[in-house]
Structure 1
């Protein structure tokens, strides 16, 4: 049944088309001319619309090409920079291997030689204090650790005050205190370079590390500085000898305790 119905509809459509063609052929000439003109106008409007859209398509194509060229240029610049940087590194490595250049050596910080104005005991006390408040154990005292330090010392600071404290001795501008920068606080305190009401002065004063009478920084005269420098050197050597003697004494006591223990053990366990 569906097939019969489809064939019937197809025949009806063919009949309608045939009648339309015959009607067009029987129509007067002027009517056929009008129909042709109407068709021509429709075709012209369609062509005009398509032609008006061509500039937009061209513009889009041009923009796409320009963007592609720009991307290629940027890529070339980046590749060129990377290549030149790699070339420079390889060239330097070859120069070092051939002995034409010296490798950069990391500067080793020795507090005892750089801060000669302080005794070994003072530097060790400062180191203990630094490690006590370096809760992160990363070798630095950051803003939060400095905040805790000042609170425990009884001189709490504002956030801005803490930042200013770090900024005053932060030589590498990393926003935290290394051990060397920590020692600079006491150096400046001993030299009288800190303001009395400053946070750093409060830290140095409340740390219980006396630096007021040590070193050459308090000496303003050149010859006095020379004399005190020699005194510091002699004191430094004397402290080393004292430490060596202390270690020997402790070792001797340890041996004596061990001998006494063995003697006691032999008494109870013959």
Structure 2
């Protein structure tokens, strides 16, 4: 009887130990595919390596290390990469992609900029072709030909034709600013002449009273 009880207790102990071992194995188990999972499924058009490159770029130009790119940091990024954006282009770029409307880019919004460039979904006036030019090699190589298709890459190269449109927009912007400045000077001159005439008329009235 005692032998049976001892055997049962021993069997229970073995079962418990085996259970613990199973739990430990479950805790230690790692999905072999996990390390190959895409870090940003939403932007799977880019490879893991390309996403890592964008992470490095974001960190490089995040000068105050607050995990955001503000207007000045975006401006500096484009200048340092040899494709400066105008004030209006930067403003429209931020308005287009700033989902939380805080006036700056978090990393997701930064990635949206690149994915919209890849898909040719950026509106005119955002300096689209300049942004593409800063990273043409990456943007011209979709991660999967099955997803983007050979035509996808071809389409991206064809969008270079929009460079002329962007230049025309910039020229129009400069001309518009020059016209505004010219009109401002003309108005200032008219105001000055009107003030002088008013002063002369007042002086003439004073002379009439003195006589």
TM-score grouping bracket, smaller chain normalisation: 0.3 to 0.5
Greater Rg by CA? 1
Superposition TM-score, scaled by structure 1 size = 0.37
